[in-house]
A = this chain, B = another copy of it.
Amino acid sequence: MIIDRLYKRVKEVGNVCVGLDTNLERLPESFKRKFDNKTDIIFNFNKEIIDNTKDLAAIYKPQIAYYEREGIEGLMAYIMTLRYLKDNSLLSIGDIKRGDIQSTADMYAKAHFDGEFEADFITLSPYMGFDSIDPYLKYLEDGKKGIFVLVRTSNPGAKDLEYLEAKSLPIYNYVGDYLAKIGKDYMGECGYSSVGGVVGGTHTDEAKEIRARYKNMFILIPGYGAQGGTAKDCNLYLKDGNGGVVNSSRGIIYNFQKFDDGEENIGHYARMAVLDMKKALEENRG
């Protein structure tokens, strides 16, 4: 099961998920000048980050919106990044948050699990209901793919719908409970399922309850750093230091901006940020 690979990797190198939210506007002119087109700029920026963090990161998560923004050239860099990760035996999460009716979901599943945009894991949005999740499951059967479904997200707006209570249970628990149920069919030897959940590290009140209710759920934890989640907060969602990865995007890939010699050392400063984050997570185990 792919989740066993991720579990083992977390055991070896820690919980850092490097978010590749690569925004062309934030890249230095001195870097951009080296390349002829947007695809090469974006891909080579990612390659610089990956090459300098690949012994430290549990997994990489390109956010497809940043690539879609640059149109075809951007999406070509998205594809090249995922292929580069695969060629280097590194794990990937395509952060696509798709969610649609069954026939449409079949198309997304094909595109992102067995097409040009292939990733090891993808993120999904459950608003339309559970028949919008099911079409992805057939790709989990041979153990090669996994999903992270939005449960309780890291943004302030999480309260608008996810927190609403129906029969004294917040909406996010309806999602979580369904994932726990279907997840049983895709359990790894590590005790976690290839059906994972996204639970933001920014709300902590219910962390213990969520971790206890979903014992077999591997959690993708966004919200660290730029969004306000601390190492202590995020640790609430881990179990013996495993069972989850903590994503940071801007805090890692743009760390170079804080230093005078940053533009010439983008990868180095990304590495420093990952090392700091690893240390913070390790020092704040629950």
Contact = CB atoms under 8 A, between A and B. Distances in A.
Interface stretch (A52-60, A62-70, A189-197): A62-70
Interface in A254-271: none
Interface centre among A66, A97, A126, A150 (most CB of B within 10 A): A97
Contacts of A129: 153, 155-162
Most chain B beta carbons < 10 A, residue from A71, A102, A157: A157
A72 interface: yes
Interface residues of A, number: 58
Contact of A157 (B76, B128, B158, B162): B128
Interface string A230-241: 000000000000
A158 B127 CA distance: 8
Contact of A127 (B99, B100, B111, B167): B99
Interface string A150-174: 1001111111111011110001001
Contacts of A130: 157, 160
B171 A164 contact: yes
In the complex this chain forms, how many copies of it are found? 2
A125 interface: yes
Most interface-central of A71, A79, A175 (chain B CB within 10 A)? A71
A66 B166 contact: no
A110 B71 CA distance: 10
A12 interface: no
Nearest to A250: B103
Given A63-B104, A65-B111, A129-B158, 4 more contacts: A125-B127, A129-B159, A160-B178, A161-B175
24 contacts: A65-B108, A68-B112, A69-B107, A69-B110, A71-B117, A72-B76, A97-B99, A97-B100, A99-B125, A101-B153, A101-B154, A101-B227, A125-B125, A125-B127, A127-B153, A128-B155, A131-B155, A131-B156, A132-B155, A160-B178, A161-B175, A164-B167, A165-B166, A171-B171
Interface of A: 21, 23, 63, 65-66, 68-72, 75-76, 79, 97-105, 107-108, 110-112, 115-117, 125-132, 150, 153-162, 164-167, 171, 174-175, 178, 227
